[in-house]
Amino acid sequence: MKNIALAKKIIAVVGAGAMMASMAACGSTNSSSDGKVTLKFAAFEGGYGVQMYKDVVKEYEKLNPNVTIKLQTSKKIADEITPGMKAGNYPDIIELGQGTESGLTETMLKDKAVENVTDVLDMKVPGESKTVREKLVDGIIGLYTNPYGDDNTYLMPMYYSPSGLVYNQKLLKDNGWEVPTTWDEFFKLGDEAKAKGISLFTYPTSGYFDAFFNALLADIGGTDFYNDVMTYKKDVWKSKDAKEALTLVQKLVTKYLNPDTVGYANGQDFTKNQQSVLDGKSLFMPNGTWIVNEMKDAPRTDGFEWGFAPVPTTKEGGTRYINTTIEAVWIPSKAKNKEEAKKFMAFLYSDKAADIFNKTGAVQPIKGMTDKVDSSMKVFYDAYNQENVKAVAGSFSTTASVEGKNIKDDLYTAVDSVASGKKNLSDWQNALNETSNALNAASGN
């Protein structure tokens, strides 16, 4: 895939989701009179693992002998660094995207507690001749990285990856099935699979519906409707387009879902839902490139081959969308070594660092990087080049908190209740509209 082509396909990158609660923290950093600096780097441990960060830190310390980087990684990094930040001790640099359970990045943005890093774009990458801006793919700096709608960058795009429907190519081939492009074809395949004891669909946790809904909303209502939802236009969830999206998902999770899904859709057991695709018990699940590394040691059916598809379209010959997930690296405004942190941030876009990240499947938005991805990953990025396929990116815009209202809970977490029959379509739609309208009022629209 050509990176520039991808960038041109991204139709909307809006700001972060609102109202996610946690504050976060880490121990203080320090510099000494002899010029030696200790930076504290806190990074989210996702599906790509921890070793890549250790290797990048080692390379930077080789290049800068006066700098020592104390690395802290965890799957619960926001929770672990909370006490220090509340005490006024901040990491110098944090790798944590928007949309996580903690909502730390959204909270820091809302509180204007993230450092402006626009100048990093024009810094030369340490050890290289090009600037960070020259290395980044065109179009990646936008409303996601500039969350206040101006020319100032606060979140540097660390990795980008397509999120859509993951499946086993061999299972479809063995049964003579084609990848469905429309919802009618999708449900028809579900009926055929059900007759063979295979479920059409599963999901790791309800949170994975963020990417799914982004693509679905863009397909049903186009760019304007998608942006209206993400910016809380008044009564947007009462619209015909919104009801169509919710109705499709309700049908999917009540009639075609693997029956074990909801019981495993939590932080401890979610890999069991992913495993059902590897075992041939479910056909499709919403997921992204990180799944390859995350499940690399898991057993699977003979000849298993990763497959990836956009979310189906509601219209014959319509545009199918792939959600593009962007992870971010940023600097707290109250960090003690912000200038040194910026230098390290620039190094994260070096060829050396990018190659280390790429080995685990963490693809950075650097020109030419998708040409280097492993063959098991290439199928994900190649999907952008399919006919009538576009990318969509973003999340709910940042706004003031409204007590008791959480749009992500009402849209994504609610899927578990819809799937189990505890919440009907009307209640789902009404709760969403009420929360969205409350956030609309809070944002002053």
- Please give the mean pLDDT across all residues of the chain: 89
Intra-chain end-to-end CA distance of the chain, in Å = 39
Predicted local distance difference test score (pLDDT) of residue 246: 98
d(CA 297, CA 293): 8
- Name the pTM for this structure: 0.75
* Low-confidence winner among 190-194, 298-302, 359-363, 429-433 (lowest mean pLDDT): 359-363
69: Cα within 13 Å, side-chain hemisphere:
28
C-alpha distances out from residue 236 to 207, 390, 436, Å: 21, 23, 8
Provide the pLDDT for residue 400. 64
Give the pLDDT band of residue 30 (cuts 50, 70, 90). low
Residue 442 — pLDDT band, cuts 50, 70, 90? confident
For residues 196 and 42, give the distance between their C-alpha atoms in angstroms, rounded to a whole number.
Answer: 47
Mean of the pLDDT values across residues 186-192?
A: 98
pLDDT at 374: 82
Q: What is the pLDDT of residue 28?
A: 38
In the DSSP assignment, the letter for residue 397 is P
**Of 162, 139, 151, the residue nearest 13 (C-alpha):** 139
Q: Where is average pLDDT lowest: 16-20, 336-340, 342-346?
A: 16-20
Closest CA to 94 of 35, 142, 23: 23
Q: Which helix (H) or strand (E) holds 306?
A: strand 306-309
SS3 69: strand
Mean pLDDT, range 11-24, rounded to an integer: 35
The answer to whether residues 200 and 286 touch, using CB atoms and an 8 Å cutoff, is: no
Name the CA radius of gyration of the chain, rounded. 22
% pLDDT > 90, the chain: 71
Give 32's pLDDT tier (boundaries 50, 70, 90): low
Question: What is the model's pLDDT at position 51?
Answer: 96
Residues 416-443, mean pLDDT to the nearest whole number:
95
What's the DSSP call for residue 369?
G
Tens digit of each residue's pLDDT (9 = 90 or more) over 146-163: 888 789 999 999 998 899
Higher pLDDT, 390 or 259: 259
Region 212-227 average pLDDT? 93
The whole-angstrom separation of Cα 92 and Cα 343 is 11
The per-type count for the chain, helices as H runs and strands as E runs, is: 18, 10
| Mean pLDDT computed over 23-27 | 36
Q: Which two tokens stand for residue 316?
A: 């014959």
What is the pLDDT, as a whole number, of residue 2?
A: 39
> pLDDT tens digits for 342-363?
999 999 999 999 999 999 889 9
CATH architecture for the domain at 164-323+400-443 = 3-Layer(aba) Sandwich (3.40)
Compute the half-sphere exposure of residue 217: CA atoms within 13 Å on the CB side of its CA: 28
Average pLDDT score over residue span 314-329: 92
- CATH placement of domain 4-161+325-393: 3.40.190.10
Q: Which residues contact 134 (CB under 8 A, 6 or more apart)?
A: none
More confident of the two residues 61 and 395:
61
Q: How far is CA 150 from CA 15, 142, 144, 401, 420, in A?
A: 12, 9, 11, 22, 43
Q: Can you read off the two tokens belonging to residue 421?
A: 């029959």
Q: Which two tokens stand for residue 399?
A: 């706004």
Amino acid making up residue 6: L
Count other C-beta atoms under 10 Å from residue 246's C-beta.
Answer: 21
Question: Taking residues 368-384, what's their average pLDDT?
Answer: 87
| Share of residues in the chain with pLDDT > 70 (%) | 91
Beta bridge partners of 156: 329
Query: Rounded to whole angstroms, how far apart are CA atoms 339 and 279?
Result: 49
Which residues fall within 8 angstroms of residue 65, CB to CB, at 6 or more apart?
none
Q: Where are the domains of the chain?
A: 4-161+325-393, 164-323+400-443
Average of pLDDT values for 327-335? 96
Contacts (Cβ under 8 Å, ≥6 apart) of 339: none
164-323+400-443 has the same fold as 4-161+325-393: yes
36-61: per-residue pLDDT in tens?
999 999 999 988 899 999 999 999 99
**Residues whose CB falls within 8 Å of the CB of residue 290, separated by 6 or more in sequence, listed in order:** 46, 47, 48, 161, 361, 362
pLDDT one-digit tens code per residue, 253-284: 999 999 999 999 998 999 999 999 999 999 99
Q: Which of 323, 311, 277 is nearest to 99 (CA)?
A: 323
Q: What is the predicted pLDDT for the residue at 338?
A: 97
Q: Which two tokens stand for residue 172?
A: 């479809």
